[in-house]
Amino acid sequence: MKIAVEGCMHGDLDKVYDTFKYIENTRNIKIDLLLCYGSPRNPQIVSFLELLDLPYVLDNASDSRDTPSLSQKDDYSEDIPNEDEDDLEDDAERNNENRSSGM
pLDDT digits (tens, 9 = 90+) for 44-57: 777 777 787 767 66
Would you list the domain boundaries of the chain? Answer: 3-100
| CB-CB contact of 31 with 9 (8 Å) | no
At 12-63, the pLDDT tens digits run: 777 888 888 999 999 999 988 888 776 655 677 777 777 877 676 665 544 3
- Side-chain half-sphere of 102: how many Cα atoms within 13 Å? 0
pTM reported for the whole predicted model = 0.39
Strands (E), the chain: 3-6, 33-36
Contact status, residue 11 vs residue 80, Cβ threshold 8 Å: yes
Count Cβ atoms below 10 Å from residue 57 Cβ, excluding itself: 17
Report the chain's C-alpha Rg in angstroms: 14
